[in-house]
C-alpha cells in the first residue's frame, strides 16, 4: 500500500441486490483494502425511487397505495438486508476495516455520483451491471455513467462468467 | 493486501503519451500494488497503426513513403520514451515491484482488451481518456470500450481536474 496507506482512504462501494456488487466488494476487500490501513469502507445502497418500479411494471395499470406502501417497505427491507450481508463480508475478509453504511433514495446513477463527491471518496468501487438486463435497457449502464461522471478513480469489477448468467 | 498479496497478481497498466495514464500508473503503484507483494506490473503501450495517423491528418493528401517511415520511427521512439518514463515511475514509487513492458501495434481499444485476456491480467488499470479530444470523437472512449469488453476488474483513473486541461 506504499505511502498512502496512512492517509485514511475513503473507499465507496456501491452495493445492491445483485451478486455482482458483492463480488466487487469482496474483490475490493482482498485487493485494495490493506490489512493494517486506516481505510474507511463506505457501503452505499441506492434505493430506486417508486417511479422506477411503477414505470417498469409494464402492465399499464397503476398500483394501489396499499401495494405501493408494501413495495416501499419491501424496498427498505431489501436495503437493510443487502447492507447486513455486505457488512458481514467486510468483517469476514478484513476484520479491522472501518465500515459505514448508507441508504440513499434516488436513481442509482445519480445517487452514486453525488455521494462519491459529497463523501469525498478516494475511489469508487462497483459491479459492472447494477441492474438486470431489462432494466438496463431502459436506464443504461450504471457503471458507465459513473465512470464518466465521477472525478475520483473508479474500479469496475465484473462477476466471473463461470458463475454469472449474463455477460 | 490481505490473503491475495501472495498470489502474484498480474496488473496490466495501459500507458500512452498522455499525462493521465502516468497519473493512473502512479495511483495504482500507491494504492493497489503492495510493498512486499509478488505483483507483476505489465506496462502496455499500444502503438496505433499507420492508418490512424493518415485518417486523422484531415488534409486530404496522402503522405509520401518518406514521411510515413519517419512517422513510424517517431512512433517507435514515442513508445520507448513512454515506457522508459513509466518504468522510472515504478522504480521510484515501488522499488521492488516486478515490471514488464510491452509495445503492441493496433487500435488501443483492441490491443488493450486482447492483451488483458492473453496475458491473464488480474486487473486492468488505465486513464479515462487515452486519446485527445478530437481523436476521441472519431474513435470513442478507450476506457469505456475496455470496461465493457474486458472480463477482469478495470480501474479507471482520471487525472485531477486542477492539473488537467479537459474534463
The CATH number for A131's domain is 3.40.50.620
| Three cell numbers written together for A68 | 405501493
In a domain, B81, yes or no: yes
For residue B36, name the pLDDT band (cuts at 50, 70, 90): confident
pLDDT tens-place string over residues A38-83: 899 999 999 877 654 554 555 656 667 777 777 788 888 889 999 9
Tell which wins on pLDDT, A116 or B141.
A116
Tell which wins on pLDDT, A144 or B2.
A144
A22 vs A37: CA distance, rounded Å? 21
CB contact under 8 A, A93 and B34: no
The conformation of residue A5, written as its DSSP 8-state character, comes to G
For residue B69, name the pLDDT band (cuts at 50, 70, 90): confident
Q: Please tell me the distance in Å from A56's CA to the nearest CA on chain B.
A: 25
| Local structure of B163: helix, strand or coil | coil
Distances (CA, A) of B46 to A71, A127, B155: 50, 27, 18
Pairing of strands A40-47, A10-15: parallel
Whether chain A has a CB inside 8 Å of the CB on B89: the answer is no
CB contact under 8 A, A32 and B35: no
Residue B64 in this model has a pLDDT that exceeds 60: yes
For residue B126, name the pLDDT band (cuts at 50, 70, 90): very high
Question: What does the pLDDT read at residue A81?
Answer: 93
Residues, chain A: 167
Cβ A15 vs Cβ A45: under 8 Å: yes
CB-nearest partner of B158 from A141, A153, A156? A153
Residues 6+ apart with CB under 8 A from B144: A144, A147, A148
Question: What does the pLDDT read at residue B141?
Answer: 79
Residue range B122-150: mean pLDDT, rounded:
76
Q: Which residues of A touch B1 (CB under 8 A)?
A: 1, 30-31, 34-35
Q: Which residues of A touch B128 (CB under 8 A)?
A: 147-148
In a domain, B165, yes or no: no
CB contact under 8 A, B154 and A156: yes
A52 vs A30: CA distance, rounded Å? 34
A116 vs B10: CA distance, rounded Å? 28
Whether chain A has a CB inside 8 Å of the CB on B7: the answer is no
Distances (CA, A) of B38 to A37, A134, B20, B84: 19, 41, 26, 22
Q: How many domains does chain B fold into?
A: 1
Question: What does the pLDDT read at residue B152?
Answer: 95
In a domain, B18, yes or no: yes
Residues of chain A with pLDDT under 70: 1-7, 50-63, 130-140, 161-167
Q: Which residues of A touch B144 (CB under 8 A)?
A: 144, 147-148
For residue B97, name the pLDDT band (cuts at 50, 70, 90): very high
Cβ A107 vs Cβ A49: under 8 Å: yes
In a domain, A165, yes or no: no
Whether chain A has a CB inside 8 Å of the CB on B87: the answer is no
Residue A26 domain boundaries: 2-157
Question: What does the pLDDT read at residue A40?
Answer: 95
How high is the mean pLDDT of chain B?
A: 82
In a domain, A50, yes or no: yes
In a domain, B48, yes or no: yes
Amino acid at each position: 500500500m506504499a505511502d498512502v496507506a496512512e492517509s485514511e482512504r475513503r473507499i465507496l462501494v456501491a452495493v445492491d441486490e445483485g451478486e455482482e456488487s458483492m463480488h466487487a466488494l469482496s474483490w475490493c476487500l482482498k485487493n485494495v483494502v490493506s490489512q493494517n490501513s486506516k481505510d474507511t469502507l463506505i457501503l452505499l445502497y441506492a434505493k430506486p425511487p417508486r417511479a422506477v418500479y411503477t414505470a417498469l411494471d409494464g402492465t399499464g395499470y397503476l398500483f394501489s397505495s396499499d401495494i405501493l406502501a408494501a413495495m416501499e417497505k419491501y424496498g427498505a427491507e431489501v436495503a437493510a438486508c443487502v447492507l447486513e450481508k455486505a457488512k458481514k463480508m467486510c468483517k469476514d475478509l478484513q476484520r479491522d476495516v472501518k465500515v459505514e453504511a448508507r441508504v440513499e433514495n434516488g436513481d442509482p446513477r445519480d445517487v452514486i455520483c453525488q455521494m462519491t463527491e459529497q463523501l469525498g471518496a478516494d475511489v469508487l468501487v462497483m459491479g459492472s451491471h447494477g441492474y438486470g438486463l431489462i432494466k438496463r435497457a431502459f436506464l443504461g449502464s450504471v457503471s458507465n455513467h459513473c465512470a464518466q461522471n465521477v472525478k475520483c478513480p473508479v474500479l469496475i469489477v465484473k462477476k466471473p462468467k463461470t458463475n454469472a448468467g449474463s455477460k
